[in-house]
Amino acid sequence: MTIREIQHGDNEQIASVIREVFISDDYPKTGTAFADKQLDFMFETYDKPRAIYFVIEDEGKIVGGAGVSQLENTEENICELQKMYFLQETRGKGLGFEMIQKCLAKAKEFGFEKCYLETLPQMLAAQHLYKKVGFEYLCAPIGGTGHTSCPVWMMKQL
C-alpha cells in the first residue's frame, strides 16, 4: 500500500471510501464529514496553499485518506486534521500512524503552530492513535467546522 498526494482522478473513489466508512460503521450522516459539500471535490478542496490531502492506494484502489488545511472560521495559525478515514481492511496495519505523521510533518512545513481535530465518541481506536501522537482533549470546539455530531475535540502543539 502506498500513501500519496490526492490526484484529480481520485475524487470519486475517496468520496466513496468515506461514505462507506460512515455506512458500514453506522456513524451519523448529518453534522459530520459525510454531509460536507466538498466530499465529492476533495482534490479541488485541497488544491490551495497550506493544504494537502493524502490517499492510501492499494493496487490501484483508494482505501483511505487524510489531510490538513487551515481550520475554518478562525484567525489563529491552526490547521485541522481532516477526513481521516480508512476502509475496514486497511485498519490495524499501522497506516493510520504513518498517515498522521505525514499530515503533521506537512502542517509543520506549512508553518502551522497547532493542529486541531474533531471526532466521534465511538471512534475509540482513532482517539487512542491521536493521543499516542500527542493530541490532547479540549473542553469545547474551536473554529466552527459545522460538524455538530462530532463532540470530541482534540489539539496538538506542532
In the predicted model, is pLDDT for residue 103 greater than 80? yes
CATH topology of domain 2-112: Aminopeptidase (3.40.630)
pLDDT above 90 coverage of the chain, percent: 81
Q: pTM for the complete prediction?
A: 0.94
Write out the three cell numbers for 122.
Answer: 465511538
In the predicted model, is pLDDT for residue 147 greater than 90? no
pLDDT band for position 144 (cuts 50, 70, 90): confident
Q: Residues of 45-62 as b/e, b for ≥16 C-beta within 10 angstroms?
A: bbeeeebbbbbbbeeeeb
Contact 53, 5 (CB under 8 A): yes
pLDDT at 36: 82
* CA 46 to centroid of chain Cα atoms: 12
CA distance 68 to 76: 15
Write out the three cell numbers for 109.
Answer: 512545513
What are 8-61's pLDDT values in tens digits?
A: 999 999 999 999 999 998 888 888 788 888 899 999 999 999 999 999 999 999
pLDDT at 88: 92
In the predicted model, is pLDDT for residue 87 greater than 80? yes
In the predicted model, is pLDDT for residue 136 greater than 90? yes
Contact 130, 154 (CB under 8 A): yes
Domain ranges for the chain, please list them: 2-112
Bridge partners of 64? 56, 86
Contact 144, 153 (CB under 8 A): no
